Structure 1
């Protein structure tokens, strides 16, 4: 029997844990639809915001995954990982927790606009924490689909810091941009302080960086792609099949 294709969804928010945009409900529905459309195994990773009611959603810490030191510039930050299950769906959601980055009462779209670098640091910590957790899980995804600017560093990290690692070197990257990007440029100076290798993409926004380094982009319904990228179908129940087709095209090296 052929092994199921592994898909990791990375998003700044997922229903029912956090929702400020359409991405939250999209990422909630796609894994279930994808399982119905083909032989796919999906997992989800998101930040563990202080606004999430841990008792209501039955969150609990995964001791064997917690304690990882996530590199951030010249230092490291220690990660706590929690997990929850989505009701009525065979789906695990892993939540990356850290008091400095997710301990306040705001979601990314509600962040103080006077702290643009803090937003980028929060996104980068979440993205690195996600990939470090995947390595610790020893769960190698065939595809990593990043949703929204909050996950926009993932394609860059896969192409640079994690390109030579045994577990992630063959993972294909998909990016879905949103309209929530704070627009702060990732300057060469900031990249150096954060330990990022931009490969000539300095001064791009996080979303622009994600689109540059990803293997494929697929846009949200209602967006206006300018370069022929695919776009999610307007009908909710068609998106899982659409995504399964795109994933299979990528895995079979057939141009989408």
Structure 2
């Protein structure tokens, strides 16, 4: 991976959020690339239950201050940064008072998904791209983890299709079994269409369930990693029909060689 630039975009990441299959692999994969000579950047949402003082998050004024338009509303973008000390890895946090101040990640205390999770996902995708543009950092690979990051492939291929910084970037999507119950806001397809994305290219988001959201992410990615031993049958069937590189599930104890080989021989070829 010598000198290769890899952008990791994730819904969750240890040590900032509790350990699960998404947050753990979102940490282990960049750590592995970092130790193999690659250059990395990591982005995640700045959820309100992340302890800013303990993890020493601080705002990056030169990157903050722009507004993102979400469904015809101006939403201020705040960028914070922190380091994972033992790995010397820097993490960028996408923040906005309206979307991320509440002291929870995806659900309220009764376990119900927040009604604006769709807009939070749109804001996160656009916020990552706009920040990377400000950094003027052109990644060779963009590796996406977790459902709240899953609109990134769509936005890169449609909304940011003419952005030269990403013209050579390859998008890798890790698909997990861990999603959400029910569906996101039924107006999600209209909110994405507001950004000029043709509705026919995201027709499955008329019902924005976890499976349909991930199907769209698969369709607009360049390669797919099966990151869980068991996936919903509907997703497995959809992935089995795509004409793009797919890495079958590999246990975490053996993932390093498999992922490096996949990056080098299938994604960057």
TM over 0.5: yes
Structure 2: where are the runs of 5+ without partners? Answer: 206-211, 241-245
Q: Flag the 1:182–1:166 CA change in 2: closer, same or farther, 3 A.
A: farther
Could you tell me how far 1:251 is from its partner in structure 2?
4.5
108 and 91 in structure 1: CA distance in 2 versus 1, 3 angstrom threshold? same
Which deviates more from structure 2 when the two are superposed, residues 226-235 or residues 136-145? 226-235
Q: Which residue matches 2:155? A: 157
The structural deviation recorded for 1:201 is: 2.2
- Unaligned residue ranges in structure 1 (runs of 5+): none
Give, in angstroms, the shift of residue 110 of structure 1.
5.0
| Corresponding residue of 1:201 | 202
Distance 2:225 2:42 in 1: 18
TM-score between the two structures when normalised by the length of structure 2 = 0.84
Structure-2 separation of matches of 1:70 and 1:183 = 27
State the Cα distance separating 1:71 from its structure 2 match.
2.1
Contact 1:48 1:97 in 2 (8 A): yes
Deviations 1:172-214 (A, max 9, x none): 1111122214452686x53333424144322333212111111
Q: In the superposition, relative to structure 1, how do residues 219 and 3 fare at CA in structure 2: closer, same or farther (>3 Å)?
A: closer
Q: Is the 8 A contact 2:12 2:23 kept in 1?
A: yes
Describe the SS at the equivalent of 2:229: coil
1:79-128 CA-to-partner distances (Å, cap 9, x unmatched) read 11000001211211000111111111111155777666511111111111
Q: TM-score, normalised by structure 1?
A: 0.88
Question: Do structure 1's residue 29 and structure 2's residue 37 form an aligned pair?
Answer: no
Question: How big is the alpha-carbon RMSD for the aligned residues of Structure 1 and Structure 2?
Answer: 2.3
Please state which structure has a larger fraction of its residues in helix. Answer: 2
1:212 and 2:212 correspond:
no
Matched with 2:259 is 243
